[in-house]
């Protein structure tokens, strides 16, 4: 999100969504544009902010800032896990009545913002929660534990510069390091880093994941604590 002062003093904005492969970089206007450069914003000092997006999953929108914040996609987003006040009660309020598998429910951006498949799978492992249990079966204690692990895995991903499995690069074109710290995602059939049991892969809602059958057992009781 870029914020600009308009000519009449109004506050304007520019939303850039990177999608899965997009990245923004700053360069001089004289620098030749690389392939898949879809947007260039010229600054007063002759530098340009450029959006490069090989897979074209990203996009941008400009206009009055208040209107951008109130309209989709920003206006429809759920709570941000790294903001003050996020916790188990927030998760339970947003997802506690859902019959979807908890991993699938966590990917709903209107319920909770910014949590992708990799981080949802990792957070569930850290919380010891079976990823395919219905969200509505989680007890308050499980929601609280899960909220804590969501914050932990997101912060770890940020500290590691992101997760690069294929396309991801930061604004300087560097790959992330978080893929080296993943406990279960992408490691089906390998040994659990916590107990040594064989990790099990699964597919739900068209998205794959993995879990430990010993650390994240299928619950036998109605409520998951």
Res. 119 pLDDT band, cuts 50 70 90: very high
Give the whole-angstrom CA distance, residue 24 versus residue 55. 14
Beta bridge partners of 207: 204
| Structural domains of the chain sorted by starting position, each given as residue range(s) with its CATH number in brackets | 2-76 (3.20.190.10), 88-211 (1.10.8.50)
Tell me the three state secondary structure of residue 117.
helix
C-alpha pair distances (Å), 61 with each of 50, 64, 65, 74, 89: 14, 10, 10, 11, 33
Question: pTM for the complete prediction?
Answer: 0.80
* pLDDT tens-digit series, residues 29-87: 999 988 889 999 998 899 999 998 888 888 889 999 999 989 888 888 999 999 999 99
Q: Which residues of 128-138 are buried (b: 16+ CB within 10 A; e: fewer)?
A: bbbbbbebbbb
Tokens representing 98?
């859902």
In the predicted model, is pLDDT for residue 170 greater than 70?
no
Q: Residue 125: in which H helix or E strand, if any?
A: helix 117-127
**Mean pLDDT, residues 111-130:** 95
| pLDDT at position 194 | 95
Q: How confident is the model at residue 131 (pLDDT cuts 50, 70, 90)?
A: very high
| Residue in the block written with tokens 């904005």 | 13
């Amino acid at each position: 999100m870029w914020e600009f002062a308009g000519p009449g003093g109004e506050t304007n904005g520019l939303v850039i969504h990177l999608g899965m492969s997009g990245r923004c970089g700053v360069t001089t206007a004289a620098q030749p544009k690389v392939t898949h450069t879809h947007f260039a914003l010229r600054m007063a000092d002759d530098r340009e902010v450029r959006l490069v997006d090989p897979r074209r999953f990203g996009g941008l929108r400009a206009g009055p800032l208040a209107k951008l914040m109130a309209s989709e996609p920003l206006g429809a987003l759920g709570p941000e896990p790294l903001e003050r006040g996020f916790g188990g009660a927030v998760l339970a309020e947003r997802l506690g009545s859902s019959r979807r598998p908890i991993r699938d429910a966590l990917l709903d951006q209107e319920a909770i913002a910014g949590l992708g498949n990799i981080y949802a799978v990792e957070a569930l492992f850290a919380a010891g929660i079976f990823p395919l249990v219905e969200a509505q079966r989680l007890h308050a204690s499980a929601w609280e534990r899960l909220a804590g692990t969501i914050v932990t895995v997101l912060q770890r991903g940020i500290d590691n510069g992101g997760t690069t499995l294929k396309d991801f690069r930061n604004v300087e074109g560097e790959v992330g390091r978080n893929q080296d710290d993943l406990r279960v995602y992408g490691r089906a059939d390998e040994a659990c880093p916590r107990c040594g049991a064989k990790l099990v892969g699964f597919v739900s809602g068209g998205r794959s994941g993995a879990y430990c059958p010993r650390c994240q057992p299928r619950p036998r009781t109605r409520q998951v604590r």
